[in-house]
A and B are shown apart, each in its own frame.
Chain A
Amino acid sequence: GDSVTQMEGPVTLSEEAFLTINCTYTATGYPSLFWYVQYPGEGLQLLLKATKADDKGSNKGFEATYRKETTSFHLEKGSVQVSDSAVYFCALNNRDDKIIFGKGTRLHILP
């Protein structure tokens, strides 16, 4: 079945460091890919999405490119802030609307 694998956390970085959180997926067909963010004690917020190969999703300085050849959707940000500390979930939707989530990566940004 469809699945999402993302790097395990926690990831701890200093402010202004470069961030990469790896995400790979297994799916038949052409799923849409998402990154959701969950701040402490809150629900999930959509961070960015991409619906087809080579699409780049971007928001709040975060980017991810849909790479079909490597079945990946890695999340990147050039300069992280303390306020980016949260749990990040990679996810896919393979047209049946049951979103498949990765286990999440907890990110800590130190001032």
Chain B
Amino acid sequence: DSGVTQTPKHLITATGQRVTLRCSPRSGDLSVYWYQQSLDQGLQFLIQYYNGEERAKGNILERFSAQQFPDLHSELNLSSLELGDSALYFCASSPLGYSEQFFGPGTRLTVL
């Protein structure tokens, strides 16, 4: 158990809908990262937040957004969902510096 929690574990929804994925980082970790894992794209970095502020962006679509709250939990919002958004979404956290990231169990999103 990495100490990073994600809810829900599974999410099934329809095209055009909007969903919110939630992540709670390890105690004391200020950085939260979101990754998408799909069969065709592999593991891709989406976005990073540090202590409530956006720090870095990766291959994140404009339909997707995230935020980090004062209690350091983070939410990833996915809107106007398409079939191709079906994937496993991971949250990770880390302390300062170039340390390793600790991953949550992921949320499996299925768009029908």
Indicate whether A and B interact.
no
